[in-house]
Chains A and B, each alone.
Chain A
Amino acid sequence: MSYKGIERILAAFFCTVIMLFACQKTFAQTTEGAEAENVEAVAEATEEEAFDAGPFIIEHVIDSYGWHICGDGDKSVTIPLPIILFDDGHAVVFLSNKLHHGEAAYNGYAMGWGENKGRIVKLDGDLYSEYTGHLEEGMEYPCHVCKWDISITKNVCALLISLILISCIFLSVAKRYREHPDEAPSGLQAFVEPVIVFIQDEVITPSLGKNSNKYAPYLLTLFFFIFLNNIMGIIPIFPGGANLTGNIAITGILALITFFVTTFSSGKEYWVDIFNTPGVPWWLKIPLPIMPMVEVIGIFTKPFVLMVRLFANITAGHIITLAFVSLIFIFGQMNPVIGWAVSPVSVFFYIFMGLMELLVAFIQAFVFTLLSAMYIGMAIGEEEHEEEATVVEA
């Protein structure tokens, strides 16, 4: 089918949607007088459980204490995950389903609200410090945030799953190499090997040259960790679906590790380049060290940008796909017919974005690894790698 054909079908589809929308409005207007009370009642009812896309999307991209599978409210199916806290010097462990999605407290612990939303709080005061039971919505209980919270949240759980998965994949691949040396790759090995070779030949070796072997394990681990978790993030149901690489803590730690590796593997030239940048007029260094300041800031902006890039790309992708899904419900609220009518378009764009995310999953893993390799390569300060290091940053 040609592009024009698709265009025409889409146009016709949108016309139908708009017409339905208009019909509903006129219908509402004509019946306004007769069924004013009824309409008002319906509107109130819908307003009460009105679908709000913003919180819906944010809820899906942030971390949570339980792994929500399906359903809503009390009928929802959620995998309870352990909450582990260090409060006043002793460990507290209980399952997240005790909190009933923030509607109940357990031994004085509850889900935070207001500015503490999404964190576990300890209720203060004699009345509530050991309180277990229902919490009234909207009521301000005295509380403080538990700082030392190492709960197995959804993202930690996803992290553990991915760690096991990656370990299994690469240990089995390594086993195959050990047991069948110098044989043609097969199965999982054949799937993984081209990617490893690609990363080695296109990323590690050009950036690091003869130091490749020393840093290859870190960079390969980095790439496959990001890539696999990006892919898992796209899968909407249980083992996937956690927005791990779209979490600032995860990307931050990865960037921090790269920062430390870069700093500790730096040679003399790296620091000379920073504090006495060659090829820059002297008045930019003395008396006011403008260039050194810029360079020193650069040390920190590089990993910062790494962190933000991965976080933003993955989270943005998820937000867009969720927004397309939300569209169905937003239109469905106006009229179920419109909701149904919009859904194919939403699903089409959802699939489109999903494919896009697949691409982004690879690209971002690649870019993170590439830039890490370049930063390390630059820090080691091999003359021959300087040219490659100036490749445009994605």
Chain B
Amino acid sequence: MELIKPSFGLIFWMLIGFGILFFILAKFAWPIITNGIASRNKKINDQLEEAAKIHEEMESLNKKHEEMLAQAKSERDAILAEARKVSEEMYEKAKLKASAESQAMIEDAKKSIYFEKMKAITDAKNAIANFSIDIAQKVLTEELKDRDKQEAIVEKWMDDIHFN
């Protein structure tokens, strides 16, 4: 029977004790603990959300970056290609110009050589003509010293002339 008979003393102390315990915990422990847990939960959630957001941003930034990189690459390629083209053109032009110039110089040289040659030939011809005239003069004067010979020549020339 004692087992199921509540004793007055225990009821008395239990009411006081549990009351005090409830008062202490409800005032100094539970609000702080539950708020602490809730605030930490909130913080963790916020940070997770923020992290997700940042991740997304990073991803978009990355994408942008990659796009920019690709664009820059293609631009660089285009510029390079153009530069190559220009340089090739320039090279070709320079080559052409150089060859033309050299051709012209060669032509000039050839011309001047020709002129010099012609001049030399003319000079030589003139000299030869003068010499031959001198020689002929001397020969003629030598030949036509006697009358016979003069007549023989005239006769010979006369023979050569044919009157048609």
Indicate if B2 sits at the interface (CB-CB under 8 A): yes
8 Å CB interface, A99-133 against B: 115, 117-119
CB neighbours of A353 from chain B (8 A): none
Q: In the assembly, what is the distance between CA of A170 and CA of B33, in Å?
A: 8
Which residue of chain A has the shortest Cβ distance to B14 in the bound complex?
A253
CB neighbours of B26 from chain A (8 A): 217-218, 221
Q: Are B10 and A250 in contact (CB under 8 A)?
A: yes
Contacting A220 at CB < 8 Å: which of B9, B12, B25?
A: B25
- Determine how close the nearest CB of chain A comes to the CB of B132; give it in whole angstroms: 128
Q: Are B7 and A249 in contact (CB under 8 A)?
A: yes
Indicate if A372 sits at the interface (CB-CB under 8 A): no
CB neighbours of B12 from chain A (8 A): 150
- Determine how close the nearest CB of chain B comes to the CB of A123; give it in whole angstroms: 20
Q: Are A221 and B21 in contact (CB under 8 A)?
A: yes
CB neighbours of A151 from chain B (8 A): 9
A315/B3 contact (C-beta < 8 A), A149-B9, A160-B17, A174-B28 known: yes
Q: Are B34 and A159 in contact (CB under 8 A)?
A: no
- Determine how close the nearest CB of chain A comes to the CB of B32; give it in whole angstroms: 4
Indicate if B15 sits at the interface (CB-CB under 8 A): yes
Q: Are A62 and B8 in contact (CB under 8 A)?
A: no
Which of A193-201, A325-333, A362-370 lies at the interface with chain B?
A: A193-201
CB neighbours of A196 from chain B (8 A): 33-34, 37
The winner among A119, A216, A221 for most chain B CB atoms within 10 A is A221
Contacting A181 at CB < 8 Å: which of B3, B14, B20, B36?
A: B36
- Determine how close the nearest CB of chain B comes to the CB of A117; give it in whole angstroms: 7
Interface size class of B (residues with CB under 8 A): 35 or more
Indicate if B125 sits at the interface (CB-CB under 8 A): no
- Determine how close the nearest CB of chain A comes to the CB of B12; give it in whole angstroms: 5
Contacting B14 at CB < 8 Å: which of A115, A148, A149, A250?
A: A250
Contact with B along A166-206 (1 / 0, CB 8 A): 11001101100110011100000000010011001000000
Q: Tell me the total A-B contact number using a CB cutoff of 8 A.
A: 126
CB neighbours of B14 from chain A (8 A): 159, 249-250, 253
Contact with A along B31-59 (1 / 0, CB 8 A): 11111110110010000000000000000
Main secondary structure of the interface of A (DSSP, over half): helix
A221/B20 contact (C-beta < 8 A), A63-B10, A196-B33, A253-B14 known: no
CB neighbours of B18 from chain A (8 A): 221, 225, 253-254, 257
Q: Are A147 and B3 in contact (CB under 8 A)?
A: no
Contacting B28 at CB < 8 Å: which of A156, A171, A225?
A: A171
- Determine how close the nearest CB of chain B comes to the CB of A164; give it in whole angstroms: 9
Which residue of chain A has the shortest Cβ distance to B30 in the bound complex?
A217
Q: Are B20 and A153 in contact (CB under 8 A)?
A: no
Which residue of chain B has the shortest Cβ distance to A197 in the bound complex?
B37
CB neighbours of A253 from chain B (8 A): 11, 14-15, 18
Indicate if A290 sits at the interface (CB-CB under 8 A): no
Q: In the assembly, what is the distance between CA of A248 and CA of B18, in Å?
A: 15
Which residue of chain A has the shortest Cβ distance to B36 in the bound complex?
A177
CB neighbours of A173 from chain B (8 A): 29, 33
Q: In the assembly, what is the distance between CA of A250 and CA of B7, in Å?
A: 10
- Determine how close the nearest CB of chain A comes to the CB of B142; give it in whole angstroms: 142
A221/B30 contact (C-beta < 8 A), A166-B25, A197-B37, A250-B14 known: yes
The winner among A84, A197, A249, A250 for most chain B CB atoms within 10 A is A249
Q: Are A248 and B9 in contact (CB under 8 A)?
A: no
- Determine how close the nearest CB of chain A comes to the CB of B27; give it in whole angstroms: 9
Q: Are B2 and A150 in contact (CB under 8 A)?
A: no
Known: A182-B39, A218-B26. 15 other contacts (CB 8 A): A84-B9, A117-B2, A119-B7, A150-B8, A153-B9, A159-B17, A163-B17, A167-B25, A170-B25, A177-B36, A181-B39, A225-B18, A249-B14, A253-B11, A253-B18
7 residue pairs A–B, Cβ–Cβ below 8 Å? A62-B3, A159-B14, A160-B13, A167-B24, A174-B33, A181-B40, A252-B11
